[in-house]
Structure 1
Amino acid sequence: MFRSLKYRNFQLFFYGQSISLIGTWMQKTAVSWLVYRLTDSAMMLGLVGFVSLIPSLLLSPYAGSLIDRHNRYKILLITQVISMLQAGALALLIFFKFYNIPLIIALSLIQGIINAFDVTCRQSLMVEMVEDKDDLPNAIALNSTMANLARIMGPAIAGVILSTLGEDFCFIGNFVSYIPVLTCLMMMKLNIRVLPHGQKSIWTELEEGFRYISGDKDLSSMIVMIGISSLFVIPFNTLMPIFAKDLFHGDAGTFSWFESAAGLGSVVAAMYLANLKSAKPIMKITIIASAIFGVSLMLLSWSGILPLALAFMGLSGLGMMAQTSSINTYIQTHAIPEMRGRAISYYVMAYQGMIPIGSLLIGWTAHAFGPRLAVCLSGMIGLLATILFVFYKTKFSRRQAAALLLNHK
């Protein structure tokens, strides 16, 4: 399960990111709780989610082309330094109790712009850190395990800090967490080969990337699948402060339980994926995980008691993690090297870029029809998308088989 940790560069990346992501989830939990505490508005929660992720929709394809042209390791160092400065600005704002919602939204937007480049860069750098490419799926799964362990620990720590020390300590903790990740990055020794791009403009390469993705039916169908999920299904998490505070009459600690339950389910899925011997069953795992995700949300939406709701929240985390990670693994293992950055950027665009629009949609739906019905609709759409995906893949496979048979004749 831990075989990819034998590579020193990946090991340093893994340990540094582990600490940094705990800080990120502490801040994410604190921002959601703070905004809802100050505004009591589901729409405002959706707006914060929107501005923090909408840059991924607009900038990810450009980021992919830029990363394919330059040293992605140096780009990652730059994005991490800027992220630390943004975290410091937010920490100062909350420390001095300057609760200015427009300014918090503006800082969330800045972080979203940074992430459009940072996430694409981190994902495309993964292949450079693992010398034996057979270990790449394991490295991706371990990276996901680490991210989801942080998703458990971050909100859990944030829940304790919010209840005892106050919101400002969560933001300060995130700022400090960038120190180990920058230290580890500077200790890495990577020989990054930048592929020559001649006189082509970055916009020409954007067009080439789009033609490559749209021309590969397997890659494009996976990206469409994650796009639908990110638009209609994954944003359900935006409403969890409402579930915790209003439906189950809890506090910040209750909210952190929901986040941690989803994180626990995600870790179970990530550990399963890390133990896979090859990437062959990835397509089947994507389908099963997507179905689990949709059904678990439908069950979560009408759960009347807290332990049952947390159990279904954990199951939704399992389905969501297995779906997103398996699609990510498929793209990284199937995209050709000179197109990898751009292929991953379209994945990031579909994944993170659609979530902000979905956050606004589910915020409006919850405001109009109630949070339970909004989450139930998300689950129903997720299940329907899975059925349509299976139908498409079956039909496409039959066409391929028929074409091969015709060629042989």
Structure 2
Amino acid sequence: MSSLYRDRRLYHLLIANTFSSVGTGMTLLSIPWLLIQKSGGETLFGYITLTMTIMMFILTPYTGVMIDRFSRKAILLAGEAIGFTITVAFAFMGFAGIEYQIWHLAILYASGVLYYFLFYPTLFALNQELFDRSQYKQLNGILEIQGQLATVLSGGIASILMAKVALHWILLFDVCTYLVAIYCLWKIPYHRQLRSVHHVSFWHKMTEGYRYMRAYPSLFWFLLASFMPFIGVMMTNYLHPIYISTVLKEDGSVYGTQSMMYGFGAAFAGLVIPFVIKRIGNEAAIVMNVGIYTIAITMFLAFQHTLIFYMLVVCMAFGNAGTRVARSSLMMELIPNDKIGRVDSLFRAVGLMIRVLLLSVFTGAVSLESVMIPYAILSAVLFVSLLTVLGLMKNVKKEETNMSQAM
């Protein structure tokens, strides 16, 4: 563990991730709130989110192959450069006095979502490549704490600025964070040889990860079920602004504050879950945290009070972040680095399909002013996931023995 803290690459990654997460996080918090304040904005935001989810599903197999083939550092730098270019262009428009239209907000939101879509799976593969196997648990805990502290900062700053300054000032701040992230990533020493990849069909790329995982069916379903809290978080990113506005009857400061509360809960998980994993193992830690998330999302159906809302957000954050730390450690330990991008893209693709289905239903429910129906559906989905991870835990441990022997 001490060698990890002496590694300068860790600090470059932490600084880059913190600045880019704070800047982009502020933008992605501000835009949904601006959209739902417009007439019909709730439904429009749902369709924008649905469109982005479908687009990410289409792109997922290509990003998996790209991550396994090319320099992960170069991919991260390219993503930062593209995000910087788009954001600085829209910031300039605002300072020039051009009023932002709905399609401007849609493009900004889409660019931020696609930035995260590329950034996190690439960072996941890069971390596995750069650091030693013995450091994975501690590394994932540190990154979870860092990421959620960035969420706290972005939520706190956004909750203050959204009511006091125009969007182009927030975008200018985002531009500055991109520059810091680019510099820090550039300073990381890294070299990767290009690998030849045959040109194959979309379906072949889509199933590369599946062909590897089909030898371990229990692990596949276990990991897939463990992604459900993350899918739940993606769904509540759409539902929470509407819930705050229509059910709690609160303003944008509550929206920003809930992001801060989420960050505190997830950061606490990043702090304690590595120690929990050492005592009970990755598998049991996943089961425990999926259970915490399931109980929290179910409680939304029983309580509609702002203070309780904050408490449930903290519990959801802990459950999702704890599950992610344990799952990331498990995948890093078991899956070869030259396949990690495609295997990870498999789970992301299936998760995106589930999100498309859920968003289609949720957008229709919200248009009928029934925002609580989506929470009930999420509760049912999470209970199925909890039963799945609980039932497969013993079989997964047997398959892990075979995988470890094959590596």
Smaller-chain TM-score range?
Answer: 0.7 to 0.9
Give the aligned partner of residue 173 of structure 1: 173
- Does 2:403 align with 1:389? no
Deviations 1:98-125 (A, max 9, x none): 3322343244334444544333221110
Structure 1 residues 290 and 378: alpha-carbon distance in aligned structure 2, compared to 1, 3 A threshold: same
Once the 2 structures are TM-superposed, how far is the Cα of residue 353 of structure 1 from its aligned partner?
6.4
* Aligned residue type for 1:200: H
Please report the TM-score for the alignment, with normalisation by the length of structure 2: 0.87
Give the aligned partner of residue 201 of structure 1: 199
Give the aligned partner of residue 187 of structure 2: 187
Indicate the larger mover: 66-75 or 214-223: 214-223
Structure 1 residues 87 and 51: alpha-carbon distance in aligned structure 2, compared to 1, 3 A threshold: farther
Deviations 1:356-399 (A, max 9, x none): 553443232333362233223312321232113322445x4699
Within a 5 Å distance, the mapping from 1:250-399 to structure 2 comes to 250-275=250-275, 278=278, 281-351=281-351, 354-355=354-355, 357-368=357-368, 370-394=370-394, 396=395
Structure 1 residues 346 and 314: alpha-carbon distance in aligned structure 2, compared to 1, 3 A threshold: same
Indicate the larger mover: 271-280 or 246-255: 271-280
Unpaired stretches in structure 1, ≥5 consecutive residues? 404-409
Contact 2:87 2:175 in 1 (8 A): yes
- Does 2:30 align with 1:30? yes
Contact 1:119 1:348 in 2 (8 A): no
Structure 1 residues 244 and 210: alpha-carbon distance in aligned structure 2, compared to 1, 3 A threshold: same
1:43 and 1:123 mapped to 2: Cα distance? 33
Partner SS, residue 189 of structure 1: coil
2:25 and 2:123 mapped to 1: Cα distance? 18
Unpaired stretches in structure 2, ≥5 consecutive residues? 403-407
Structure 1 residues 3 and 235: alpha-carbon distance in aligned structure 2, compared to 1, 3 A threshold: farther
Contact 2:229 2:319 in 1 (8 A): no
Deviations 1:342-367 (A, max 9, x none): 12222333456644553443232333
1:335 and 1:82 mapped to 2: Cα distance? 30
Contact 2:226 2:385 in 1 (8 A): no
Give the aligned partner of residue 235 of structure 1: 235
* Aligned residue type for 1:70: F
* Aligned residue type for 1:201: H
1:254 and 1:267 mapped to 2: Cα distance? 20
Structure 1 residues 281 and 56: alpha-carbon distance in aligned structure 2, compared to 1, 3 A threshold: farther
Q: After the TM superposition, which parts of structure 1 deviate over 6 Å for at least 4 consecutive aligned residues? A: 397-400
Structure 1 residues 382 and 179: alpha-carbon distance in aligned structure 2, compared to 1, 3 A threshold: same
2:246 and 2:180 mapped to 1: Cα distance? 38
1:381 and 1:66 mapped to 2: Cα distance? 32
Indicate the larger mover: 182-191 or 240-249: 240-249
The total of aligned residue pairs comes to: 398
* Aligned residue type for 2:9: N
Indicate the larger mover: 135-144 or 105-114: 105-114
Once the 2 structures are TM-superposed, how far is the Cα of residue 158 of structure 1 from its aligned partner?
0.4
Once the 2 structures are TM-superposed, how far is the Cα of residue 268 of structure 1 from its aligned partner?
1.2
Give the aligned partner of residue 135 of structure 1: 135
Give the aligned partner of residue 405 of structure 2: none
Contact 2:241 2:255 in 1 (8 A): yes
1:292 and 1:367 mapped to 2: Cα distance? 30
Structure 1 residues 317 and 115: alpha-carbon distance in aligned structure 2, compared to 1, 3 A threshold: closer
Structure 1 residues 276 and 218: alpha-carbon distance in aligned structure 2, compared to 1, 3 A threshold: same
Indicate the larger mover: 92-101 or 72-81: 92-101
Within a 5 Å distance, the mapping from 1:215-226 to structure 2 comes to 215-226=215-226
Please report the TM-score for the alignment, with normalisation by the length of structure 1: 0.87
Give the aligned partner of residue 124 of structure 2: 123
Contact 1:29 1:256 in 2 (8 A): yes
